[in-house]
Structure 1
Amino acid sequence: MVRLFLSVDMAGSTQFKGRFADGSSWLDTFRTFFTNFPLMLAGQVGFAFLEEGETPVVEVWKVMGDEVIFVATPESPEALVNMLLALIRTMNAYEERYLEDLPLRLKGTAWLAEFGTRNIELEIPELSGGEGVRAIDFIGPDLDLGFRVTKFSRPACLALSFDVADLVIAAGNAGDVSLHLIGSEELKGVMFGRPYPIIWMLEAGTDFNFMPWEVEQCPHMARAATMPPSPVSDVERAIGNMRLYLRKMHGVERPRMVLGGAG
């Protein structure tokens, strides 16, 4: 089984909280986020799958600081694309409604993990409740990789692991999104030190909604702000080069993940 993990983090939260002498001044902002964002995402997921007949479950896995992480089980590349679209639409709508006058932004990351061999699902009895309520944690190298990829996340877009991007470009509805290959950078502790491709996603036909000072401070954002969507061939080449390196130099096979419970 392959699961999709979606991380949404508040950029600028540390400085924002530091402006206030007491927690009550910023508490409502974050209470609203952790309460309303999941509800808004559920609504966008329902809208994205309106014509599919069945709405998949996208549920909160855990909350870490100012970050909320969702987990879902897409049944196809097309379902994966719809979930990503629902997430970025929710991020944009939430910022417009709740953060327009605050120095806070939302940044997102998406990655996949295959369970059964590489990664495990673990119940934590101490946190589980009665009547079938189970506290589940997920552990494994794909989870570690995903948390590393969050290093690439920036406001107003989604950072994708190359496994996610690989399935996006194979989807029948790939034209609904645009992918931007920003460059590559080493991720500590993963991929044997090989620079990992930085791939950002937008909804097709939209532009990066960066603030001027964000562009000034981040070379990756400055590049993205002026670049068109990357050709599919460029994204495929970056993914293929990574897989070649893993196989040739380290004997590691990392084929395209298979959705729908067959992974």
Structure 2
Amino acid sequence: MTDIDALRFEAAEYRVRLFLSVDLSGSTAFKNSKDGEARETGATPYWVTVFQRFYSDFPGLFAAEFQRQRNDSVGADTCPELWKAVGDELVFCGRVASKKSCAVALDAFIKTLHQYRKRLSDQGVDLNLKGAGWLAAFPEPNRTVQLRARENSPELLPASEALELSADKEPFQFDFLGKAIDTGFRVASRAQPDKFALSVQLARLLVNSGPDLSFGHQIRLERPSILKGVNKNEPYPFLYIDTMEYLPTQAAKQLEREVLREGEVPNPARLSEYLTAYCKVVGTDEITLKVDSAAADVGVPESYSTHKKYISEHLAGERQTEFDGEGIGDGLAPAEEVYLEDASLSPLEAAHEVPGDT
């Protein structure tokens, strides 16, 4: 029995995953442009080559940058893995056990975005990049779904540690569902090349960490607006990190913000108070993590503790059902054999009697 199999009926431990999205901006126009349609060799348009390079190169560059920044404070956390490609968008996912791990992954991702933007510019490719990030807690209130069963292996049960541990290692084999995931994609839709969009929970985690986190990025706020279906249509704060580096319009954008007095960095303490008040209004739990790998663990949310009891009871029932099913199967096998044997003997006995009677 593998370690995963041994955890099939164990309730999943509380965990937090960081989701990071990068999207090619201006892709539709590029595909339909003269340069995008150019076919220097063979039948492949240039835009296909550019997109293939993006899909293959960006994940490796991100992993290398994460590894460059990684230190003991990150602990055992690894670089978020590619979860899925959604059209021109790549979405990465990784479990984070500390604020430091979250900050390192986010900073590495933003640096990779900037460097890849520079690469496109140096190559004369008329495309840009925009990004977003959000957090989601599992197995409550969000859930993991296994997309395909492992060959010759039993099903990984919902909310089990076996399922969640497998998803930590290979997120591309699973789907993630829930309010935080839906909200995250809505937040990502508001991203702009100069503004890396953040969910409220991610921004709150970072802004509450103070200078000790050494994050290196300032979180800015624009007027809230409605995100369809999110928080009962209560206007959602537009929180973002400045990502103007290597933008061809960088100088003009900076002057524009100064003239219009937009994009000023809010006081972190006041921003924290505002986000706390907002979450109280919409009923969003705060996601808490320890500062770094050396710090003591923080408590899990009350909502998780409450649901863990029911998850454990459900999985215990699944274990019993599976055990009973195996027992019934084992008990029936001999009986079926006897029944079949008896059934096959009766006609033979009758066959011997018929000739004797005639």
TM-score of the alignment, normalized to the shorter chain, above 0.5: yes
1:245 and 2:268 equivalent?
Answer: no
Equivalent AA in structure 2 for residue 45 of structure 1:
F
CA shift for structure 1 position 210? 4.7
Change (3 A) 1:74 1:13: same
Change (3 A) 1:34 1:27: same
CA shift for structure 1 position 233? 3.0
1:85 and 2:115 equivalent?
Answer: no
CA shift for structure 1 position 228? 3.5
Which residue, out of 41, 45, 57, partners 2:79?
Answer: 57
Which residue, out of 206, 211, 216, partners 1:168?
Answer: 206
Which residue, out of 48, 65, 68, partners 1:47?
Answer: 68
Could you say which residue in structure 2 is the equivalent of 1:120?
143
Could you say which residue in structure 2 is the equivalent of 1:191?
231
Is this contact kept in 1: 2:24–2:127, CA < 8 A? yes
Could you say which residue in structure 1 is the equivalent of 2:326?
none
Change (3 A) 1:182 1:192: same
Change (3 A) 1:99 1:213: closer
Which residue, out of 121, 133, 138, partners 1:110?
Answer: 133
In the aligned structure 1, how far is the partner of 2:192 from the partner of 2:259? 13
In the aligned structure 1, how far is the partner of 2:281 from the partner of 2:251? 33
In the aligned structure 2, how far is the partner of 1:79 from the partner of 1:63? 24
1:95 and 2:95 equivalent?
Answer: no
Which residue, out of 287, 291, 311, partners 1:257?
Answer: 287
Change (3 A) 1:154 1:91: same
What count of residue pairs does the alignment treat as equivalent?
250
Equivalent AA in structure 2 for residue 122 of structure 1:
V
Which residue, out of 67, 71, 77, partners 2:89?
Answer: 67
CA shift for structure 1 position 222? 8.6
Which residue, out of 22, 35, 51, partners 1:8?
Answer: 22
Is this contact kept in 2: 1:5–1:110, CA < 8 A? yes
In the aligned structure 2, how far is the partner of 1:80 from the partner of 1:106? 21
In the aligned structure 2, how far is the partner of 1:225 from the partner of 1:104? 28
Could you say which residue in structure 2 is the equivalent of 1:249?
none
Which of 19-28 and 9-18 deviates more?
19-28
Change (3 A) 1:130 1:28: farther
Which of 104-113 and 173-182 deviates more?
173-182
Q: Secondary structure at the match of 1:230?
A: coil
Between Structure 1 and Structure 2, the one with more strand by share is 1
1:29 and 2:50 equivalent?
Answer: yes
Give CA deviations for 1:41-74 in whole Å, capped at 9, x if unaligned: 0011111214546561310000010000000111
Cα RMSD over matched residues? 3.1
Change (3 A) 1:65 1:10: same
CA shift for structure 1 position 89? 0.2
Change (3 A) 1:241 1:235: same
Q: Which 5+ residue runs of structure 2 have no aligned equivalent?
A: 1-14, 39-43, 154-165, 291-296, 302-358
Which residue, out of 241, 254, 259, partners 1:201?
Answer: 241
Equivalent AA in structure 2 for residue 259 of structure 1:
L
Query: How high is the sequence identity, in percent, across the aligned residues?
Result: 26
In the aligned structure 1, how far is the partner of 2:84 from the partner of 2:143? 16
In the aligned structure 2, how far is the partner of 1:200 from the partner of 1:191? 19
Q: TM-score, normalised by structure 2?
A: 0.62
Equivalent AA in structure 2 for residue 10 of structure 1:
L
Equivalent AA in structure 2 for residue 82 of structure 1:
V
Between Structure 1 and Structure 2, the one with more helix by share is 2
Equivalent AA in structure 2 for residue 47 of structure 1:
R
Choose 1 or 2 for highest CA Rg: 2
Is this contact kept in 1: 2:107–2:215, CA < 8 A? no
Q: TM-score, normalised by structure 1?
A: 0.83
Change (3 A) 1:97 1:211: closer
